[in-house]
Amino acid sequence: MAASKCTRLGGELSRRFVASVDTVLFDCDGVLWRGDEAVPGAPELVNELKLRGKRVFYLTNNSTKTRAMYAEKLGRLGFGAEPSEVFGTAYCTAVYLRDMARLAGKVYLIGGQALSQELGAAGIPHLGQGPDPLTGGFSDWARVDRDPQVKAVVVGFDEHFNYMKLNRALQYLQDPSCLFIATNTDTRLPLEGGRAVPGTGCLVRAVETAAHRKAQVIGKPNSFIYDCVVKECGLEPSRTVMVGDRLDTDILMGSSCGIRTLLTLTGFSSLEDAKSYQKSGSDSMVPDYYVDSVADLLPALSEQDQ
Amino acid sequence: MAASKCTRLGGELSRRFVASVDTVLFDCDGVLWRGDEAVPGAPELVNELKLRGKRVFYLTNNSTKTRAMYAEKLGRLGFGAEPSEVFGTAYCTAVYLRDMARLAGKVYLIGGQALSQELGAAGIPHLGQGPDPLTGGFSDWARVDRDPQVKAVVVGFDEHFNYMKLNRALQYLQDPSCLFIATNTDTRLPLEGGRAVPGTGCLVRAVETAAHRKAQVIGKPNSFIYDCVVKECGLEPSRTVMVGDRLDTDILMGSSCGIRTLLTLTGFSSLEDAKSYQKSGSDSMVPDYYVDSVADLLPALSEQDQ
């Protein structure tokens, strides 16, 4: 299946491509849905892939849902999905702290309910969830109570993010032995109609700027989410594809993990973006293939019957 | 007065240096005071400089005080000072918007009372000051009410900074014609005892990350504060010195404005930092002179009597 990069998948090529794949890793937002609406044809594609014996996993940088919450949303939009097929950054952050960092202490959490639930399910004590109302002045903030058992700061999406939380993170991170983990660095959360709100990356940059430190990032383009799939479920890299809408996260991760990559144009990145990276020699951000929508792969599946 | 860079001021050199200066530009925090305590000897130095006919101005990146509030703090700590001698970023941001940008519209302000007062004094309508409690969810945030008259977003220090304010800034800044101004990018506010809390730079980086834009910065190392002193008060660059504790703001600004620079070691940067910049050839961050404390200049003034 050697091919020049950034090739449109269609017709016979599409049929051969699907036949060469056993495992499909899907990003979700911008690929399978936008906001709360499924991409037309995407549920049919995913369900058809599974009917044909392909394995499907969902890899998302979004930290606002647990595995169970993602499986529920997938089901509601028409995708058959089990929690064990979902690898989001809420879950993978908890796995990282438990299995890789072997954290012996508490987490100071800038993050929401899903992160708290996944940390709890992994047996990791944590504090910080929910509102942290502004009180006091400069001297109080510099002397804010610190739990001596906190050995890590985790930054995920948190709509309660404010100056108090930023300050608490700084006070913990002044200890160089305190771990500093970010779920992801996506700058915006895209919503329906081209609208967007600030993403986790904004909170991460604020804390990094205060702490004079860089966070270790769990999400794509880092490979940790992929490593979690490999460890828990196993896969044959040469028969696996990463399908995503972002060149700087999904495609870059797929390239660096040595699997094939497929860009779908229903989300963040455009074909022009990909061609531009190709021209500048940034090959790791150029997908092997692209489609207008993942639904374009449906005919390749039904043709296999004929 | 040609000299090799990064020379300790003392004895005869110190006396000749003081004699060669008509105008002294002082950074405040870490130079004249730390937190709420004057650097020992600093009030005497400043008052003695004025008695000898030198002109003194206060140039600070801090946006949490008006000119009048700064003059009051200076007076309380023993420094004679008039509001017209104070050039802080609250005041200079208002000057920039009124005289340089000639803003015809409102400001969405992430900032405190001092910024609001200086904008008001300059006749610039603004909104956003004070708490902005979290309400609603993703779709509400993306559709948040926008005042169509807002033509600039200003980010200064704001202890009420939170996700709602970050989101409002993003929604305004998606219009490319909306100005984006930051008072300063200092990462931390230093307090007594080596403690620190997050500075304005953290908030600026969060908004820049969301907006996919860089802010225009009013504070040091940019030269706009210096330009304000020149325009309002006039000065002879060859007989002017910038005295500061930070190489990356005070000294860099002085270098780029073509005036002499003096590092004092009572604040942020160390002599090692300066020597390290010198070795790497980053000359604009290397001061012409340094002292352990501005009080070290006092003997040079009294010796002029002899």
| Model confidence band, residue B190 (pLDDT cutoffs 50, 70, 90) | confident
- Enter the DSSP assignment of A29: B
pLDDT on residue A1:
39
Does a structural domain hold residue A165? Answer: yes
**Is residue A273 located within the same domain as residue A288?**
yes
Catalytic site residue B29? yes
Residues A299 and A242 in one domain: yes
Residues counted in chain A: 306
A204 in any annotated domain: yes
**Distance of alpha carbon A209 from alpha carbon A278, whole angstroms:** 32
Judge whether B143 is closer than 8 Å to chain A, CB to CB: yes
Residue B72 lies in a domain: no
Task: Output the CA torsion sign for B269, B272, B275, B277.
Answer: negative
Looking at residue B4, its pLDDT comes to 67
Rounded CA-CA distance B252/B30 in Å is 16
Write down which residue in A217, A243, A276 finishes a domain. A217
Best interface-test mutation with B: which of A162, A172, A173, A200 has the largest number of B CBs within 10 A?
A162
Which of B263 and B189 is assigned the larger pLDDT?
Answer: B263
Residue contact A166–B170, C-beta within 8 A: no
Same domain, B114 and B12: no
The identity of residue B86, as a single letter, is V
State mean pLDDT over B120-148.
Answer: 96
Q: Are B147 and B246 in a shared domain?
A: no
Q: Is residue A25 in a domain? A: yes
Q: Do B192 and B245 have their domain in common?
A: no
pLDDT band for B302, please (50, 70, 90 cuts): confident
Cβ atoms < 10 Å from Cβ of A84: 11
Q: Under DSSP, is residue A162 helix (H, G, I), strand (E, B) or coil?
A: strand
Instruction: Give yes or no for a contact between A260 and A241, defined as CB atoms under 8 angstroms apart.
Output: yes
Give the orientation angle of helix B163-173 with respect to helix B200-211, to 10 degrees: 50
Dist CA B147 CA B168 (whole Å): 10
- Put simply, the answer to whether B134 touches A159 (Cβ < 8 Å) is yes
Residues pairing with B180 in the sheet: B153
> Would the CB atoms of A198 and B163 count as touching at under 8 Å?
yes
pLDDT given for residue A4 in this prediction = 66
B35, B187, B212 member nearest A212 (Cβ): B187
Residue B1 has pLDDT above 50, yes or no: no
Strands (E), chain A: 7-8, 23-26, 33-34, 37-38, 55-60, 86-88, 106-110, 126-127, 150-155, 179-182, 188-190, 196-198, 216-217, 240-244, 260-264, 289-291
Average pLDDT over residues B164-177: 98
> How high is the pLDDT of residue A303?
56
- Which residue range is the domain that position B209 belongs to? 90-217
Residue A71 lies in a domain: no
A294 C-beta neighbours (distance < 10 Å), count: 23
Average confidence (pLDDT) over B196-225: 97
Q: What does the alpha-carbon distance between residue A225 and residue A25 come to, in Å, rounded to a whole number?
A: 11
Domain final position from B161, B184, B217: B217
Residues A252, A220 contacting (CB under 8 angstroms): yes
How close does chain B come to A27, measured CA to CA in Å?
20
Q: Are residues B274 and B157 part of one domain?
A: no
Q: Which of A22, A20, A40 is nearest to A31 (CA)?
A: A40
How many angstroms separate the Cα of A202 from the Cα of each of A20, A157, A185, A272, B105?
39, 9, 7, 26, 27
B142 at A interface, C-beta within 8 A: yes
Q: State residue B34's pLDDT score.
A: 87
Contact indicator for A32, A42 with CB cutoff of 8 Å:
yes
Predicted complex ipTM exceeds 0.95: no
Mean pLDDT of B242-251: 97
B278 touches chain A (CB under 8 A): no
One-letter identity of residue B95 = V
Check CB contact of B130 with chain A, cutoff 8 Å.
Answer: no
Within 13 Å, how many C-alpha atoms sit on residue A33's CB side? 17
pLDDT at residue A125, as a whole number: 98
**pLDDT in the model for residue B151:** 98
Q: Do A197 and A116 reside in the same domain of the chain?
A: yes
For every residue of B225-242, DSSP letters joined together read HHHHHHHHH---GGGEEE
Q: Which two tokens stand for residue A77?
A: 């939009």
B192 phi and psi angles, rounded to 5 deg: -60, 150
Q: Using omega within 30 degrees of 0 as the cis cutoff, is the peptide bond preceding B221 cis?
A: yes
For residue A143, being part of any structural domain is answered with yes
The domain that holds B292 is classified in CATH as 3.40.50.1000
Whole-angstrom Cα distance, residue B209 to residue B39? 37
Same domain, A208 and A125: yes
Q: Does B159 touch chain A (CB under 8 A)?
A: yes
**Last residue within a domain, chosen from A217, A236, A251:** A217
- Cα–Cα distance for residue pair A199/B70, rounded to 1 Å: 37
| Position B306 pLDDT exceeds 80 | no
| Number of domains making up chain A | 2
Query: Mean pLDDT throughout B158-182?
Result: 98
Instruction: Look at residues B89, B85, B38 and name the one whose alpha carbon lies nearest to residue B224.
Output: B89
Task: Report B:193-212 residues touching A (Cβ under 8 A).
Answer: 195-199, 201-203, 205-210, 212
pLDDT by 10s per residue, chain A, length 306: 344 699 999 999 999 999 999 999 999 999 999 888 899 999 999 999 999 999 999 999 999 999 999 999 999 999 989 999 999 999 999 999 999 999 999 999 999 999 999 999 999 999 999 999 999 999 999 999 999 999 999 999 999 999 999 999 999 999 999 999 999 999 998 887 788 999 999 999 999 999 999 999 999 999 999 999 999 999 999 999 999 999 999 999 999 999 999 999 999 999 999 999 999 999 999 999 999 999 999 999 875 554
Are residues A210 and A108 part of one domain? Answer: yes
Q: Is A80 domain-assigned?
A: no
Widest Cα–Cα separation across chain B: 75
Residues A114 and A211 in one domain: yes
CA distance, residue A111 to nearest chain B CA (Å): 12
Q: What was the pLDDT predicted at A194?
A: 81
> Which chain B residues are Cβ-neighbours of A141 within 8 angstroms?
197
Domain presence at residue B168: yes
Per-residue pLDDT tens digits for A275-293:
999 999 999 999 999 999 9
Among B35, B138, B210, beta carbon nearest to A202: B210
Is B207's CB within 8 Å of A202's CB? yes
Determine the pLDDT at residue A193. Answer: 79
Do A225 and A211 share a domain, yes or no?
no
Whether the per-residue pLDDT at B297 is higher than 80: the answer is yes
B204 and B110, same structural domain? Answer: yes
